[in-house]
Amino acid sequence: MAKETQQDISLLNTNLSNARSENESYEDYRARLKRNKDILKTYAAVGREAFREMFPNGVADAITEAQAQMVKEKEEEAEQSV
């Protein structure tokens, strides 16, 4: 059981703590709590195996890729509006 829990934590690969870090702003803290709630809700809904298929590199990588994609789209949108 402990081994499965450790594998699940490494799959999520994100800070699931409800405690606010010293160098974390309140807005970042609230956003992280909301993101964690959504991640855990998805994990509970689809199960461990489906979650592993959805996020083979872990959730943190998927979040990073999504943020990079959003920045890229905003830059392209700004170039088109000029």
pLDDT digits (tens, 9 = 90+) for 38-76: 888 988 999 888 888 888 888 888 888 888 888 888 888
Q: How many CB atoms lie within 10 A of CB 13?
A: 15
Q: How many CB atoms lie within 10 A of CB 59?
A: 20
pLDDT interval class at 78 (50, 70, 90): confident
